[in-house]
Amino acid sequence: MDGRDLKTVLENVKTPPPGENARKRAVNLALAEFERTQREKEKNFKGSGIASRLTGMTAQKRRDPMKKKYVYGGLATAMVVVLAATVSFQQLLENPKGGFTAELTKVDLSVAGTPADENVSASYRLRMAEADVTRVEEALRTGQSALPTPMPQKEMAANTAGRSATEMPQNFVATAPSVVMDDTVLQPGYQDIGRDQFENFEENPVKVVREEPVSTFSVDVDTASYAFVRRQINNGVLPQKDAVRIEEMINYFDYDYPLPETKEEPFKPTVTVVPSPWAEGRKLVHIGIKGYDIAPDEKPKSNLVFLLDVSGSMNAPDKLPLLKNSFKLLLETLGPDDTVAIVTYAGNAGTVLEPTKASEKAKIMSALENLNAGGATAGAEGIRQAYGLAKSSFDKDAVNRVILATDGDFNVGITNREELKDFVERERMSGIFLSVLGFGQGNLNDHMMQTLAQNGNGVAAYIDTLSEARKVLVEEASSTLFPIAKDVKIQVEFNPATVAEYRLIGYETRALNREDFNNDAVDAGDIGAGHTVTAIYEITPVGGPRTMDETRYAQAEEHKADTDFGDEYGFLKIRYKNPDSDTSKLITTPIPAKEFSPQRNERSATQWRNTTWSTAVAGFGQILKGGKYTGDFSYDDVIELAQSAKGDDPFGYRAEFINLVRLAKSAAAMEKNAP
């Protein structure tokens, strides 16, 4: 009997639907087969057992690289068994060569949410079948339906005509782990589009000094915004405006501010006043802080808990695989007595590695290597377990920190930001800090990550490349892991006799009320060892070009500089706490009413480069947000400023910035000319 005869017989056979127990047994068997085939991938997947029987692939066919077939094993097997009610053996035999291949087009998977339309490529539909296994597993655990809502055929046709699989609408673009067959690879990865979430905020407005002389905000040493903006521009797309947090772009770069002399006063402010390059007659007030750096032999031990998202949305090359390699880099910076634990979460959360000495590197590496993505995202439960594990191994003489690595897409359990914020706020009182590393794009929940990091006394960074992981976790390991000051607040009181208006550039999401400055119960940002922080105000001196007209009755008041403070633009106050204290300390310094004049010495030249470079980055960020206050200041002006202040660039970050501005200039032109 040949294939055609068998097909004729099967056409007249009514196949009863499998029972629930049969389904479960089939899924367990298929998933076991998948685990076995994964272990044998390096041996080119010999394909015995269920996989070879259902795909019909012989060893000779698998070795033939000229076939260029896309073949998948255990996951596809599981999907075939579970969907037996809709995918008959007759349909499997439609391809006389056997197996699931790129030519297979007649398998109807619309019941699983995959549009059965000729416009959808076979390879895309096959990948959807693999992705559905995650839903089936979750359904068997929870008793819920495994099938997503199908997309209506008309809507599907309108959205998929002429598109490749990677261009499909976001509600049905997903792929599964790759299986390598000779030189043929089914590309891995979960891909989502247009679901990145950022906190919405308006740029800081211009304020009149006589009406509101005091400005208060929390410091911010996060760098997530710059890394995300860079990725978008490198992809040829200008970032959404809410993704641009100018202070994080400025603080992405290191500045050579003077170091404090002792750790008793952990930082020393540097204030510089220069003309504004985008508004004639106005000035920029730069406030720079560099934290006390800890010598290697002074660094405390680290008690770290890695809280790793291994949900289905992390199944992409720039997510879980990059996450694993990033944490391997971090391990290289730890001392032998530091401890590491690993908690993972997907549909549920669990401890993968109990607290383990960093000297047992092979054991930790093995735990990382064995992680796989799949399931929903129960982030809240993972956070609870991670804090519990950190408490169980708490060391009062060490840095106790949870490091959360995720795309932020929590969708199981507590998903409300305010509830999670309250939980993290309560837990930080125990002395355990939380830092957040973001991965991936398309469904990045930056807003969630920022909320957790800001309220967990930690930093938020975005890892888009292994190079960025090295910067954050190796080059800046001290500032990432070892806090030297917490709840750091800045308050500037401007002198109405010398300043008419002011505007804080950035820090919109870090604004504080005036009364919060002296209230030690109000949380604020933290500074790590050796970290730098820069803040920039644009001011209009009295008599300069005002943004707003002066009120009628204020004009009648005689403006005279106070004899005691006429040489000051304002007064700077910095309030902070030591990491192990709940009582704040105060640092103050006046802001001189004179412009910086570079002298013929290295310190002066360094101060000029610091100020000019941060101005260039601030200008770029404002242009990306729409250029509301920068007038005719252009990308070319940013490039000119940046090139003049590039200076030493050992890691190439400043050269990369200049190239990024050039790319943004090109992207802006394309956007303008788009239909």
**pLDDT tens digit string along 29-53?**
555 555 555 545 444 433 444 333 3
* E-only strand ranges, 186-301: 207-208, 214-218, 267-275, 283-291
Nearest-10 crossing angle of helices 653-673, 602-624: 20
pLDDT at 412 over 50: no
Contact 587, 269 (CB under 8 A): yes
In terms of DSSP H, where are the helices of 429-527? 446-455, 466-470, 477-481
Quick one: pLDDT at residue 535? 98
Contact 405, 327 (CB under 8 A): yes
pLDDT at 420 over 60: yes
Contact 274, 595 (CB under 8 A): yes
* Closest C-alpha among 315, 220, 238, 223 to residue 506: 220
Give the pLDDT mean for 228-255: 95
**pLDDT tens digit string along 608-622?**
999 999 999 999 999
Residue 141's Cβ-count burial label (10 Å; 0-12, 13-18, 19+) is: exposed
Name the residue with higher pLDDT: 193 or 666.
Answer: 666
Q: Which residues of 248-283 are buried (b: 16+ CB within 10 A; e: fewer)?
A: bbbbbbbbbbeebeebeebbbbbbbbbebbbbeebb
Q: Beta 302-309 vs 339-345: how paired, if at all?
A: parallel
Cα 183 from Cα 346, distance rounded (Å): 32
Give the pLDDT mean for 524-539: 94
- Residue showing tokens 């507590």: 414
Quick one: pLDDT at residue 298? 84
Q: What percentage of residues in the chain have a pLDDT greater than 70?
A: 66
The two three-digit tokens of residue 514, written as one number? 């005036």
pLDDT band at 213 (very low <50, low <70, confident <90, very high): very high
* Global pTM exceeds 0.85: no
For residue 251, give the 3-state DSSP assignment. Answer: coil
Report the sign of the C-alpha dihedral through residues 480, 482, 486, 489, in that order. negative
Name the residue with higher pLDDT: 91 or 135.
Answer: 135
**pLDDT tens digit string along 158-198?**
444 444 333 333 333 333 333 333 332 334 444 555 678 89
Q: In degrees, to the nearest 5, what angle opens at C-alpha 305 toward C-alphas 303 and 310?
A: 165
Give the pLDDT mean for 236-240: 92
Quick one: pLDDT at residue 65? 36
Quick one: pLDDT at residue 562? 53
Quick one: pLDDT at residue 607? 94
pLDDT at 432 over 70: yes
**pLDDT tens digit string along 277-297?**
999 999 999 999 999 988 888
Q: Give me the domains of the chain, ranges plus CATH numbers.
A: 3-185 (no CATH), 207-295+484-548+563-673 (2.60.40.1230), 300-480 (3.40.50.410)
